Chain A
Amino acid sequence: MPHARRVVVITLAIGLVVLLTALVVTLSHAAVRRTGSNYIRAVQSLGVTSGGGTFCQPDELAPEDTGAVRLSLNTGRGHGATVAVALHRAGELVARGRAPAGWQGDTVTVPLRPVLTHDVHGRLCVTLGKGAPMQLLGQQAERRVAARSGGSSLRGRLRVVYLRPHPESWWAFAPTVVDRMGLGHALHGSIVAILAFLLVLAAGALGTWQLVRASA
């Protein structure tokens, strides 16, 4: 093998091992993954409460595998009160959960049990305990879909992100990602992810092969 080609092959091998290692490390990182969102942005205050109370939000779609919800509630510098969540479909309780007091920041994550085994289109009710003032963050919405507390409507809808129950690596989450990539596209199903993967692989293989071939 000519010297230049040998150097290219060795450099390529080292580079690809480094790249592969970086990929493995990145994809092994575990975190709680999303199952969905209500696509409301946390850009407006819907009100401030410190006295506790319950409000319900209609027209929520909680996807299959949801085991927690992340609500946009801001406590400022204080500590948040207890937050309880209940998910109803057609008036029937499907899942519920509770986060203890003491959380901080602009979101609170509430575990939900049982973990949903199918998509639930229904009403999400949030009960806030008494404590430090909490700001409800969301976006203005029409009255008919706005969150309601007692008999009155809030200014809009609260931002809700739906989460899977436990932290997972991308490896463990991959089957879900593959399924999702097949939604909303001209092609349907896992073929989208598989094709994308094979195409990138082919592009990389062709490129590196050409690099080696041309180095002779």
Chain B
Amino acid sequence: MAARPGQRVSGRATARRTTSSRPAEWASAARAALRRVPRAARLCALVAVLNGVAWSLVTPLFQVVDEPSHYSYTEYLVDHGRPPPPAGDEGRLSLSESAAFRDLRVEELAASPGDPALVTETEQRRLERDLARYRGRDGNGASQSAEPEPPLYYVLAAVPFTLGLGGDVLDRLWLVRLLSTLLSGGTVLLVYLFLREALPAHPWAWTVGALGVAFEPLFACMSGGANPDNLLYLVAAGLFLAFARIFRRGLTRRRAVGVGALIAIGFLTKINFVGLLPGALLGLFVAGVREESALRWRALRLPALGVGVAAAPIALEMALNVLAWDRAAFGSGVYTTGGVHYSLSEGVRYLWEFYLPALPFVDRVATGFSLYDIWFRGFVGEFGWLDTVYPSWVYRASLVPFAIVLALLGSALVRERRALRERLAELLVYGALAAGLLALIALASYNLFAQRIGGAAEPRYLLPLLALYGAVLTLAVRGAGARWMPVVGTALVVLAFGHDVFGLLLEVARYHG
């Protein structure tokens, strides 16, 4: 009996067809899934991708923070099929990367913001000659800081890297940069979906929040560089979206598996993901208890499923690290805690000072931390190796729109306080995700401080919280009230776009001017 269009067919015929047309079915399912994504979300994602590619063109190669080490890791992974083993202080760039590193004057540029990138055809010819002469990919993948990181981003980066094997270092690095821009598009897409789920009133404001994220210059700068942070931002946005769904629609087996998968991906992406773990576990636990309306063993069934899904690939990676790859099970190098002497009181003071002004009656542990100088200025924009900055007055002037956004946010929160009370558990989970990340960054920095090798106070580490930044913008728009909402929302997007454009011009002036 012939099947009518749309009718299901069963039995052996199905098995045969499934085997032969599975890729077509997958493609069709992917197209259907994409069609379910609102057009506005896709457009906002496209904006982020286009903007990221522009940043990838304007910023000279290897001038996004830590790019040489991420290139080095990817190169090793492509050539050896495994992440690099620790090499202590014996990190070695390949001949080809060394040639590019030297001729592009990576070190000199990073150290001297007053100097331009390549400016003469003479330098370009030397670069081309050296890249043609030194093609060796014999580095040990362990140069600088990336080596202790998990391999997932680098596995993805291996695809564009391999596509560029016929070219030179510059081609391969730029192709990896393009991967990052795609990830940034995914991040903005997920931020949009998070806003739609978490703040369902006033759909127009979702676009404002998502575009505000897409045009955030620090995010755009990172998205134009080869850096695993970009995958971390995507996973973090996915986690916020997952919990927004769970708290609105309930915890199901599929959603628990989804959260577990995100935890696994995050763990395999970057060590900083550990900061989001407490919030994710709390979220699963709270959602499980809510689902059962009581604290009983059964409430832990779905959270346990999520944890199990997360644990399996993480355990596998740890086992491979120890048994096959000669690496620490989790974290090494700058992340090591062995042999480091900590002091509880010093640690607590360090954590405080990392984000907040030092207390007047307490001795300062470290100098140089300042909420304004590190976090605010950094978020407004410090690009490249944190050496490309706006004139000081720009940061001071930026306080005005930030203050207005905060005031509007306050107004929205007061106006919607009843809804806030009803969603306290959900807010607690978002807060735990944020607090965990903040604590992790501060602790990682304290670990470096205790080893006497500096700190890790970089605003890019906060960008996994971009979903919350989008929510702040969306709420600020709502805080303006129905009458002023279109004006405030539009002004915020124009401001964000202008901020982005001037960030790009700053890069142009610093490197090419």
On A, residues with C-beta under 8 Å from B are 4, 7-8, 11-12, 15-16, 18-19, 22-23, 26-27, 33-37, 39, 41, 61, 63-64, 119, 121, 161, 170, 173, 177, 180-181, 183-187, 192-193, 195-197, 199-200, 202-204, 206-211, 213-215
Whether the pair A15, B170 counts as a contact (CB closer than 8 A) is: no
6 CB-based A-B contacts, threshold 8 Å: A19-B498, A119-B120, A181-B512, A186-B174, A199-B57, A207-B497
Q: With A119-B121, A186-B174 given, can you name 13 additional A-B contacts, CB distance below 8 Å?
A: A11-B486, A39-B112, A63-B119, A119-B120, A180-B118, A184-B123, A184-B127, A186-B61, A203-B54, A207-B44, A207-B493, A210-B44, A211-B489
B513 near A200: Cβ-Cβ < 8 Å:
no
- B contacts with A, residue count (CB < 8 A): 66
Q: Does B494 contact A (CB under 8 A)?
A: yes
Once A12-B494, A36-B119, A180-B118 are accepted as A-B contacts, the answer to whether A206 and B112 lie under 8 Å apart by CB is: no
Chain A facing B: main interface SS: helix
- Whether the pair B61, A16 counts as a contact (CB closer than 8 A) is no
- B residues 37-74 near A (Cβ < 8 Å) are 40, 43-44, 46-48, 50-51, 53-54, 57-58, 60-61
User: Is B204's CB within 8 Å of the partner chain A?
Assistant: yes
A27 to B508 CA separation, bound complex (whole angstroms): 12
A contact residues around B167 at 8 Å (CB)? 186
B512 touches A203 (CB 8 A): no
Residue A186 contacts which of B171, B489, B509 (CB distance < 8 angstroms)?
B171
Residues of A within 8 A of B203 (CB): 214
Within the complex, the shortest CB–CB distance from B64 to chain A, in Å, comes to: 13
Most chain A CB inside 10 Å of its own CB: which residue of B54, B121, B167, B171:
B54
B494: nearest chain-A partner, CB-CB: A15
Complex CA–CA separation, A64 to B122 (angstroms): 10
Decide: A200 and B118 in contact? CB cutoff 8 A: no
Minimum CB–CB distance from A111 to chain B (whole Å) comes to 20
Q: Is B28 engaged at the interface, CB distance under 8 Å to the other chain?
A: no
Binary A-proximity of B332-352 (CB < 8 A = 1, otherwise 0): 000000000000000000000
Inside 8 A of B471's CB, which chain A residues have their CB?
A: none
Bound-state Cα–Cα, A34 to B505, Å: 16
CB of A183 within 8 A of CB of B211, answer no
Q: Which of B83-125 contact A (CB under 8 A)?
A: 103-105, 108-109, 111-112, 114-124
Question: Distance in Å from the Cβ of B12 to the closest Cβ of chain A?
Answer: 49
Shortest Cβ distance from A209 into B: residue: B43
**Can you name the residue of chain A whose Cβ is closest to the Cβ of B211?**
A207
